[in-house]
Amino acid sequence: MSNPTAPMLLVTREKVKPKNEVSTASPNRRSPGGTSMPAEKILVLNATGKVGRNVCRALREAGYEVYGTTRSSKGTLAEQGVKPVVCNYTVRADLDRVFADTGARKVFVITDYFGAAKKSATLEFEQGRAAIDAAKAAGVQHLVFMSVADAEFFDEHVKHLHAKVALEKYLRQSGVPFSILQPCAFFENLDDAANWNPLKKGVVKFLTMQDCKYCATYDIGRAAAIQLKDPQTWLGKTLDVIGWQGDLSQVAAALSRVSGVPVKAKLAMPIFLRRLFLNDLHHMFLYYEVHKGPRGTPEAFQKILPDALSAEDWFRFHGYYANGEKIAADV
Ligand SMILES: NC(=O)c1ccc[n+]([C@@H]2O[C@H](COP(=O)([O-])OP(=O)(O)OC[C@H]3O[C@@H](n4cnc5c(N)ncnc54)[C@H](OP(=O)(O)O)[C@@H]3O)[C@@H](O)[C@H]2O)c1
């Protein structure tokens, strides 16, 4: 697939900077005559979340002037070179205001069942619909929607994906120019203190020991940049974001190579407790474990983003354990 802008976006494995070594220099573009042109604007919804922060970073590196929504007037977005816009990304009136204030005509849309939608698929759908309708009213030229890989193939118990499927359908019929990204499980789940899984030296935990497909949220942003820079190829299209595949012992081996210390792989909780207390996620993991989903492969994604982060790359990129200690022995 032809993608003349891809080389600009690629960060070689050796050069991946840890997550908090973010350049805040202004993006700059040069016209063919050498004069500088204003960077294109993009609005990133939910810019302070696990996805939003790294999507903002990747889009800045791809040369965009990035506006990020947050409900807080404090925040650290400005320190990352992102222009913060105070906005509840789930509220239509707020979205109308920020499209008008920023003038952005490109937007990265996230919805969130567990956080903003408070475990209601109906509410998540309403929130996503508000974003799509606001984008349409603002005359957005390209909306990138983050869904989930194989969302339509999980069983009915996986309630947290119901709205994703409905929103993909709504977006396709909305008339808004769009692309869809469908990520698999995030590497970020391996260091998720909010969900009782902080990354500690010498151990890595997850809800399955079995083979699993992972991606870095940074690669969701790099994939978005590829779609946004090549609308001819990507408008109306969907891309699975799958960076790497392996079981938890292979994840542990990757962390061991980066940290220089032995690493044990452990279940974050026994499977019977996963079934009992996290039934929705339990059924999601059954799709991975029994049906070997999602169907996409790292090889297919690497055709679009050749240096997609592997587990080892991600630990280098992530940079730090939950307690702030550096992971890599060699930095
Ligand atoms: N975890 C995975 O493996 C995985 C894989 C594929 C897809 N996904 C998808 O990723 C999405 C979650 O993204 P994420 O992990 O980036 O989210 P996240 O980190 O949980 O987002 C946190 C942000 O949400 C905002 N927020 C929290 N409560 C809110 C509320 N009531 N109203 C409005 N904003 C609120 C806050 O921003 P402010 O306080 O700054 O406003 C907060 O910084 C979900 O759609 C999930 O399905 C996850």
Condensed to tens digits (0 to 9), the pLDDT of residues 158-175 reads: 999 999 999 999 999 999
- Residue of the CA atom closest to atom 19 of ligand 1: 49
How far, in Å, CA of 4 to CA of 298, rounded? 21
Among candidates 167, 202, 161, which has minimal Cα distance to 185?
A: 161
Reported as a pLDDT band with limits 50, 70 and 90, residue 17 is low
How far, in Å, CA of 151 to CA of 147, rounded? 7
> Within a domain: residue 21?
no
The pLDDT score that the predictor gives to residue 321 is: 98
How far, in Å, CA of 70 to CA of 187, rounded? 23
User: CATH number of the domain that 206 lies in?
Assistant: 3.40.50.720
| Rounded mean pLDDT, 18-26 | 60
Among candidates 223, 151, 121, which has minimal Cα distance to 181?
A: 223
> Within a domain: residue 117?
yes
Is the pLDDT assigned to residue 117 strictly greater than 70? yes
> Within a domain: residue 3?
no
Residues 6+ apart with CB under 8 A from 238: 147, 168, 179, 180, 181, 182
The pLDDT score that the predictor gives to residue 76 is: 84
Q: What is the mean pLDDT of the chain?
A: 92
Q: Which atom of ligand 1 is nearest to the CA of 161?
A: 47
| Rounded mean pLDDT, 180-198 | 97
> Within a domain: residue 170?
yes
Query: Cα(37) to centroid of ligand 1, in Å?
Result: 33
| Rounded mean pLDDT, 288-298 | 97
> Within a domain: residue 162?
yes
Query: Cα(90) to centroid of ligand 1, in Å?
Result: 11
* Number of domains observed in the structure of the chain: 1
Residue 192: DSSP 8-state: B
Residues within a 6 A CB radius of ligand 1: 46, 48-52, 70-72, 88-90, 110-113, 115-116, 148, 183, 185-186, 189
Residue type, 190: L
Reported as a pLDDT band with limits 50, 70 and 90, residue 216 is very high
Displacement of CA 306 from its chain's centroid (Å): 17
Is the pLDDT assigned to residue 97 strictly greater than 60? yes
Domain residues for the domain of 110 are 28-318
> Within a domain: residue 291?
yes
How far, in Å, CA of 296 to CA of 55, rounded? 21
Among candidates 167, 173, 208, 166, which has minimal Cα distance to 189?
A: 208
- Residue of the CA atom closest to atom 40 of ligand 1: 70
Which of 46, 82, 186 has most ligand 1 atoms within 8 Å of its beta carbon, as the pocket-test mutant? Answer: 46
Is the pLDDT assigned to residue 36 strictly greater than 80? no
> Within a domain: residue 285?
yes
* Apex 52 CA angle, 46 and 55, nearest 5: 145
Reported as a pLDDT band with limits 50, 70 and 90, residue 73 is confident
Helix, strand, or coil (residue 251): helix
Residue with tokens 């991946």: 16
Task: Give the orientation angle of helix 92-102 with respect to helix 121-137, to 10 degrees.
Answer: 30
The pLDDT score that the predictor gives to residue 74 is: 79
> Within a domain: residue 327?
no
How far, in Å, CA of 93 to CA of 122, rounded? 19
How far, in Å, CA of 329 to CA of 331, rounded? 6
The pLDDT score that the predictor gives to residue 26 is: 57
- Residue of the CA atom closest to atom 7 of ligand 1: 148
Is the pLDDT assigned to residue 34 strictly greater than 80? no
Reported as a pLDDT band with limits 50, 70 and 90, residue 9 is very low
